[in-house]
Structure 1
Amino acid sequence: MTPTATRARRWTAADVPDQTGRVAVITGANTGLGYETAQVLAAHGATVVLACRDPRRAADAVARIEAAAPGARVQTLALDLSDLASVRAAAAELRERHPEVDLLVNNAGVMWPPRSTTADGFELQFGTNHLGHFAFTGLVLDRLLPVAGSRVVTVSSIGHRSGRIDFDDLQSERGYGRHRAYAQSKLANLMFTYELQRRLEVAGVDTAAVAAHPGGSATELVRNSPPLIRALFPIVGPLLSQSAAQGALPTLRAATDLDVRGGEYYGPDGLGEVKGHPRRVASSARSHDKLAQRRLWQESLQLTGVTYPV
């Protein structure tokens, strides 16, 4: 089926092209969206690296993927995005194992926890969701740059729309709101994607930066919701969310569809982008503020101490 024909109907996991020979690295791939993404890519022939914080849960995910797709090539990589020492160690190990990487999916994240800090003193959501991925991407990007058609896919959220980057208080030290901090981190994911794409274009390389969001998906992230929301979720959840497998489709499309271009953003096609099949969607006007994108990039370089090859 041609790419044009694929666009004319709803895109599903069956539309994922053959991934044989590709190396895909997915953060937070032992559960939820990351696991579903890994499972589909492995079933389509990719060598998939599950970059996870918990080795035991990662090993269990590998066993489940291999049981569903005998012969699948799946590896694990210890990665704690809330600790820059772990990020550097994981990047070094990945570089040693794989001279080339075709796909990096920045999927892992935390949502709405009580205020806490990372090992490096960053607010947990901003430090994990944005800074951890910013650092990891920068440390392994040179493994993607020589690969034609390589991609960096970063998972954002509908929640980015209420987000603001508070450059005077990035770590929420003056005041913490769990929803506000989450929205800031998800807006940062998008601004990172757009600024990275601009730099890749200037460098003239064939690597693309793309973003996606899952809509409302039933994953473990809801565990930090307020008690009332957790109590009501079994009742209202089916109306406001979809399965993790369905929620992973925008990421899979951003990662594999041959029609995808750098700087695009994919999400569900249903009302409010909460549920549905993946299509190209728009992000908030704030996410396209080029001055803020560049300032966030510079702040992130300084906070992580990571340099980029572009």
Structure 2
Amino acid sequence: MTSAPSTPRIALVTGSTNGLGHAVARRLMADGTTVILHGPTPASVDAARERLGLAGLDLTRLETEVADFTRLSDVAALADRVAARHPVLDVLVNNAAVAPTDTRTLTEDDHELAHQVNYLAPYLLTRLLWDPLGAARPGRVVNASSALHRTANLNWGDLDRVRGYARIGAYAQSKLALTMFTRAAAVAAGGRILAVSVHPGILSTGMLSLYARVGQPVADGADVVARLCRPETTVRNGAYYDGESEAPVAPLAADDKAIARLWKATAKVVGLDRQPASV
């Protein structure tokens, strides 16, 4: 007797209309995963969907979502829609990010642009999808970090960088905070969720100017991220990877007191003062 086909895995990949996120979405779809493709505008999402179709991928394994991460209300609404359709979510790839501008820019929520899009938004999205991710037992959260997180520090009284703003410093801080959150999420989930952060390499994307003039092909970074999404890939919960290898983190990202302090401060900012039910 033939066994019934298994339910396809579901992965939400943020910032997947171009660059690394789009390449990751393509890899996961090729693996048979149903991908929720996310972008900031309907036009960007439609164009990305068309490119995947032209590449010969099965669009019945594709869902699309629009949410502008410069608005935290959009992030919350995205989480609500995804959770309503998918009480079990296998993978969340927090890839959406911006390169900060030369001058300090504020979002509609009055936060520095990179701090919100690169850190507050993925924090909020992950927390709001906690139950669907935990239902996968374990779901995976893969956070696109950066080796630049090791150059950053946190000014606890000025996380929105009102004083001493610098473009690369703002980006590095956002990736340090995301790396710290990765470890916090791994601990808080108590094994129900596996969370890792990764530097996928210096790639030829819109972020290249923050690193160098020449980058690796985006496909190389997508291979790294997609590998961490696969259930057969063994990972250490809460760890940071540089490419395929586990790597050291910045001192603050290994400081339990600092990690707990950032979790609590961020929860207050985004209106999630309560800890997840599993803690």
Please report the TM-score for the alignment, with normalisation by the length of structure 2: 0.90
Is it true that 1:266 corresponds to 2:241 in the alignment? yes
Amino acid at match of 1:87: V
- Is 2:216 the counterpart of 1:216? no
d(CA) in 1 for partners of 2:148 and 2:161?
A: 17
TM alignment of 1:248-259, pairs within 5 A: 248-256=222-230, 257-259=232-234
Q: 68, 91, 107: which one pairs with 2:95?
A: 107
- Could you say which residue in structure 2 is the equivalent of 1:81? 69
Q: 2:165 aligns with which of 167, 176, 183?
A: 176
Aligned residue identity for 2:259: Q
Paired residues for 1:1-310 under 5 Å? 21-72=8-59, 73-113=61-101, 114-201=103-190, 205-222=191-208, 225=209, 236-237=213-214, 241-256=215-230, 257-268=232-243, 278-306=244-272, 307-309=274-276, 310=278
Deviations 1:91-118 (A, max 9, x none): 1111222121100000010123131111
TM-aligned CA deviation for residue 308 of structure 1: 4.5
CA drift at 1:71: 2.1
Deviations 1:273-292 (A, max 9, x none): xxxxx222222223111111
Whole-angstrom CA distance in 2 between matches of 1:286 and 1:31? 31
Superposed CA deviations along residues 259-310 of structure 1, whole A, max 9, x for unmatched, are: 1231122223xxxxxxxxx222222223111111011000100100024524
Alpha-carbon displacement from aligned partner over 1:54-102 (angstroms, at most 9, x marks no partner): 2211111112222223324111111212211111111111122212110
Give the Cα–Cα distance (whole angstroms) in 2 for the partners of residues 258 and 220 of structure 1.
Answer: 28
Match of residue 4 from structure 1: none
TM-score (norm 1): 0.82
Q: Which residue of 2 aligns with 1:16?
A: none
More deviation, 178-187/60-69: 60-69
SS in 1 for 2:111: coil
Q: Which residue of 2 aligns with 1:13?
A: none
Unaligned runs of 5+ in 2: 1-5
Partners of 1:55 and 1:98 lie apart in 2 by 21
Aligned to 2:3: none
C-alpha distance in 2 between matches for 1:51 and 1:164: 30
RMSD between aligned residues: 1.8
Query: Match for residue 14 of structure 1?
Result: none
| Alpha-carbon distance in 2 for matches of 1:294, 1:133 | 17
Q: Distance in 2 between matches of 1:180 and 1:71?
A: 41
Contact 1:265 1:283 in 2 (8 A): yes
SS of 2:207's partner is helix
Secondary structure of the 2:141 match is strand
Q: Hey, which bits of structure 1, 4+ residues long, moved more than 4 A? A: none
In structure 1, C-alpha distance between the alignment counterparts of 2:247 and 2:42, rounded to whole Å: 35
How many angstroms apart in 2 are the aligned matches of 1:285 and 1:102? 30
Instruction: Tell me the distance in 2 between the aligned counterparts of 1:145 and 1:285.
Output: 29
The 8 Å contact of residues 20 and 46 in structure 1, kept in 2 or not, is answered as: no
Q: Which moved more, 1:245-254 or 1:64-73?
A: 64-73
Structure 2 distance, partners of 1:253, 1:279, is 12
SS at match of 2:77: helix
CA contact (8 A) 2:16 2:96 kept: yes
State the identity as a percent. 35
The one-letter amino acid of 1:101's match is L
Pick closer, same or farther for the CA change 1:198–1:35 going to 2, 3 Å: same
